[in-house]
Each structure stands twice: as structure tokens, then as C-alpha cells.
Amino acid sequence: MKVLHLISGGEKGGSRKHVITLLEQFRPEEVTLAVFQEGQLSQEARESGIRTECFSQSSRYDLSVLNKLASFIQQEGFDILHTHGPRANLFGIYIKKKTGIRWVTTVHSDPSLDFVKSGIKGKIFTSLSMYAVKQMDGYFAVSERFKQNLITLGINSDKIQTVYNGIQFTNETANAIARSEWGLTKDDFVMAMVARLHPIKGHTIVFEAMAAFSEEERPHLLLVGDGPIEDELINEVTRRKLERHVHFLGFRSDVDHIYAASDLALLASYSESFPLALLEAANQHVPIITTDVGGVGELIDHEQTGWIVPTKDAQAYEQALREAIAHKDQLPEMGDQLYNFASARFSLQQLAEDHRQLYTKITNI
């Protein structure tokens, strides 16, 4: 069985890690990665021994790559096209019609929100994306909630395989970065939030919650990631006078060391599937405050290994922060419980087996 994974190539967050760690579980001759641009994803994939081909576009609207991709699929004899993300999904419509290849996708996010704040183009692309999602032969839903979302769209449940993101859990935690790097001390309460700087990630909810604290009691936030609204978020931090407590770290490849230096991990997204960032926090024995999105309820035991709060609710987020700070001495034990649960359930081996099952099923139809 030969599978071609197709993704835009510019990803830097959870979907990048998901694709690389997934493909690493297969033999090199079984999987190939195709991207539309060179970047960190293609570089890391090649370093991991994954065959990676780039079909460069002059712009994201350059459709000349479609015939090149179709020819590549036919010449190489791929059995399955596995797309990731809205652009790859849109292109899959043509490739499927041109080649007749079996087509699956991983639902990394809510397709109705992929083009939020993109104006009239966003509305057009959202309609196309929703159409594409209904044309596939199989689906990997990265949580039970996302599976139910697909069923609501009218997709047959027999075509959907629930999978859970996995990571390679380690027996020991990473070496913590010295807090002095950010001008902080061991007595400061430090939170890490690893997320693209994108509207859907809910950074402003965290800022609003932090602004409710007095200057003396306010926790510090390490923001890891880059993205299209960086300037907007920096201005929001300035407007709320949080400059001393919000630290923009940009894109980092040492996330585990940052988590190890933190008391708490945060996620405030309005929509997610099953965030890898939370598994990375769990691997470092760090409890989590997260909004109630995707499959987080399948990882977090509320008030035992973290806190789950409603989306877009800054007051609820503030309350959870206050509870975490008030129980700071108990956080290490909560983190240990989280690690024990996550490491037993969300393995890379299980992730690969779930994929093989659906691949085999659709090729035998």
C-alpha cells in the first residue's frame, strides 16, 4: 500500500508535528509527503527520512500544480491520497476526479472556521472547503466530537475513524530553561501557551482574564508561536498594560524545555481537534487550563489534572487561573496524574494502527 500525504507545507504548529510523527511510524516505501512550499515541515520531514516532494506554486492560487500532482500519482502508483488542511482538501477535488484515487483526510480543525476573518474570499473558500469535505472516501477525526461534527454534516459514520494525536512520551522531563531568561524568578507563577497567533486561538480571552488580576498578583504568560495577528496581539497587550507579564517568544523548537519551566499550560481556542500542545504539556507533567473544545475532555479530568472552561468566557478563565494559583503546591501532583493517564493512552503506535485500519478498509471497498 502506498499513501501520498498532501499538505500546504507552511505549517509550524500541531498539524506539522502530527504529519511528521504519523509518517515516521510507516516504512519509507509506504508513504510520501507532498508540499506546495519548502519550509520547516519539509526540512524536518526529510531529516526524519520521509520522502518529500515539493510542487511549488507561484501563489496559493496557482493551479498548474494540479496536473503535475495527478501525473505524479499515476506514475508512482499511489493507492491513497491523504490530505491535510483546507488547501490540500480543495485540490483533492480535482485530483480525485482526474485519477480516481481513494481519498481520505484528517480533520485537524473545524472547516467552517478555517477562513475566519478573511472577508469575502473567506466566505467563498469556506463554501468550497465544506463541499470538499463531503467528497472523500474516508475521514480521520481527531476526537469523538469532531466525528460527531462530520456526522452532522451528513457523512456516513462508517467512513469515519476516530484517532487521537500521539507523541513519544519520555520517562524523564526536559531540562527547564532558566526563568531568568525572561527576567522571572522561581517565585513567579509562570504559564505557557503554545499556539499560532491566530484569531481562533483565543489569546485575547487570556489577556482579559489576566487583566482582572492586580499588578502584584498577576501571573506571567509565555506566548510561544507566530502568526498573522502578532501586531494586533502586541497592541492588545499594550492597551491592557500587560507588557510586564506577557512575554512573546515567537516560534520555538524547545517547547518541552519551556513547559518544564512553567507551572501551568494554557489553551484558549474557540475550536480545536485534539491539540498536540496539550500532550506536550502532559509529557512535562504540567497541568492544563483549556477551553472546552475538540477532544480535550478525553484528556483532562476537570479539577484533577487541569481545568476545562467554556469557550470565549474570560470570567470562567480568570476563575480557573485563580484556583490554579491558589493551589500552586498541588500542581506538580496534578501534572504527574496527567502524565500517567496521557502516556498510557495517546501513543504513536496506536495512532499508526488506527490509520492502517482505515487505509485497508477503503482500499478493499
Residue 156 belongs to a domain with what CATH number? 3.40.50.2000
C-alpha cell, 250: 515567537
- Does 85 share its domain with 221? no
pLDDT band at 125 (very low <50, low <70, confident <90, very high): low
Between strands 190-194 and 306-309, the pairing is: unpaired
Q: Model confidence at 114, in pLDDT bands (50, 70, 90)?
A: low
Q: Are residues 149 and 226 in the same domain?
A: no
CA distance 362 to 365: 5
Decide if 226 is inside a domain. Answer: yes
pLDDT tens, 239-271? 999 999 999 999 999 999 999 999 999 999 998
Let me know whether 95 and 235 are in one domain. no
pLDDT confidence bin for 144, thresholds 50/70/90: confident
Q: Let me know: does 164 contact 345? Beta carbons within 8 Å.
A: yes
Say what the pLDDT of residue 111 is: 57
What is the spatial distance between Cα 308 and Cα 32, in angstroms, rounded to a whole number?
38
CA torsion 8-9-15-16 (nearest 10°) is 170
Residue 112: is its pLDDT beyond 80? no
Q: Are residues 76 and 65 in the same domain?
A: yes
Q: What's this model's pTM, rounded to 2 decimal places?
A: 0.70
Q: How far apart are CA 48 and CA 31, in angstroms?
A: 13
Res. 137: pLDDT tops 90: yes
Domain count, the chain: 2
Q: For 61-108, how does the pLDDT look when each residue is reduced to its tens digit (9 = 90+)? A: 889 999 999 999 999 999 999 999 888 998 999 999 999 999 999 986
**Segment 35-52 mean pLDDT:** 95
Question: Above 90 in pLDDT, residue 307?
Answer: yes
Closest CA to 24 of 355, 288, 332: 355
Range of the domain at 134: 3-166+347-363
Specify whether 37 is located in the same domain as 106: yes
Together in a domain, 94 and 123:
yes
Mean pLDDT of 148-169: 89
pLDDT class for 274, splitting at 50, 70, 90?
Answer: confident
Q: Which residue has the cell 527520512?
A: 49
pLDDT at position 110, please?
61
